Chains A and B, each alone.
Chain A
Amino acid sequence: MSKGTRFVTIAIPAVVAYLLMLINVLPVPFVSAETADQILPVIPWWLLVAFGAFSLTSLGLGLLRFHDTPEAYESLLAEIAQAKNELRDQGVEVD
């Protein structure tokens, strides 16, 4: 099963169960009916905001931790110059 089909096989029952609880067909376990009525309508928004916050945090941290490597560039230029000199001596066309 691919990641996509696995996601769908979990997501569809979850959404159906959520909707049934929302319209009071299914009882909500562990919490009182009153609390459930208050929590259930905002769960989708909560998920959306939580995922958005996670995404932005991941991206932000990723950007912050992105290393710049100017020293790799400098040493590469030096090596290229050295390579060209040696290759020229061996009769290879380099400019």
Chain B
Amino acid sequence: MSGHTIIDMPAAMSTESDKYSVILPTYNERKNLPVITWLLAKTFEANGLAWEIIVVDDASPDGTQEVARQLAKIYGDDKVVGITVHLNRSLDGKAGWGCARVPATWYGVSASLGTSILKPRAGKLGLGTAYVHGLNFVTGNFVIIMDADFSHHPKFIPELIKQQKLHNLDIVTGTRYASTPSPTPNPRGSVGLGPGGVYGWDLKRKLVSRGANFLADTVLMPGISDLTGSFRLYRTPVIKDIISRCTSKGYVFQMEIVVRARSLGYTVGEVPITFVDRIYGESKLSGNEIVGYAKGVVNLWWNVE
């Protein structure tokens, strides 16, 4: 943890009653979950922020839930809350974040000791249904959604929060593409830990990513540089409102949130982040995904006011 996340913190941050809930969707993250939890806890404690982590596990066979229970014992079950969601992954083929309006009656809920088991009966559900469920358990007035695989570093959370407070924003999203936070001004560089960027991408991956963002940027004119990023801070009522209107999955889902936020009049800001691509496991972008993405952009262009 670099020191300046603590030094630059406005005095107001530690005294307010804001609480930050991190939703961590997991699938087979037994190895990563304790470490990301440790990093999150360290960041929040160092900055005197009230926090909780909602682990939304997609019925991982590797024992992620057991690890979540261990962590709840160490940090307190008000701090680490484990939820198991059984999503029918086989119907989806590949996992992708998305949101779907799911009637509550689809789920049998049995809760014990902060761990709830949610079972969807059937249906083609995006993995991002995880967000919808996670939101039901959130007690904070702010929600942070990030990946549990270390591609998003918790050290940027205080920066997202600073930017939110500075401009009273509804959403602050991490950007891999910009060097400075937006909106400005940010007196004396008070927000951010330097320019955004990526580790572990070759030229082709960068070109695809750039192309995807250029397409969306040109067609949708969202006013932010990183539309498909998934490291974001939201006001809780805002994300609940937006997610209830969302219809898409995967990268498009991340984009849809911002596009809908704009059309609903919510304010969106950005802070540069560094993105370290999956240290464990692989992330690939297939031809199918690219086509699906382009369709999603056009769909948003045509349908979102």
Contact = CB atoms under 8 A, between A and B. Distances in A.
A58 B304 CA distance: 25
A5 B302 contact: yes
B14 interface: no
Given A59-B210, A59-B214, A87 B276 contact: no
A51 B200 CA distance: 31
B229 interface: no
Given A68-B198, A83-B34, A55 B214 contact: yes
Interface of A: 1-5, 7, 55, 58-59, 62-63, 65-70, 72-73, 75-77, 79-80, 83-84, 86-87, 90-95
B131 to A, nearest CB: 24
B198 A87 contact: no
Contacts of B1: 79
17 contacts: A2-B301, A2-B304, A4-B302, A7-B301, A66-B206, A66-B210, A67-B198, A68-B198, A69-B199, A72-B199, A72-B276, A76-B150, A77-B279, A80-B150, A83-B38, A87-B38, A91-B70
A26 to B, nearest CB: 30
Contact of A73 (B200, B214, B303): B200
B207 A72 contact: no
B220 A92 contact: no
Indicate the size class of the contact surface on chain B: 35 or more
B198 A66 contact: yes
Given A59-B210, A69-B276, A84 B35 contact: yes
Contacts of A90: 74
B93 to A, nearest CB: 29
Contact of A70 (B196, B199, B203): B199
A67 B195 contact: yes
Contacts of B31: 94-95
B282 interface: no
Given A59-B207, A62-B210, A4 B34 contact: no
Interface in B172-208: 177, 179, 195-200, 203, 206-207
Contacts of A77: 279
B211 interface: yes
A22 B200 CA distance: 52
Contact of A67 (B30, B196, B214, B303): B196
B274 interface: yes
Contacts of A59: 207, 210-211, 214
Nearest to A55: B214
Contacts of B213: 62
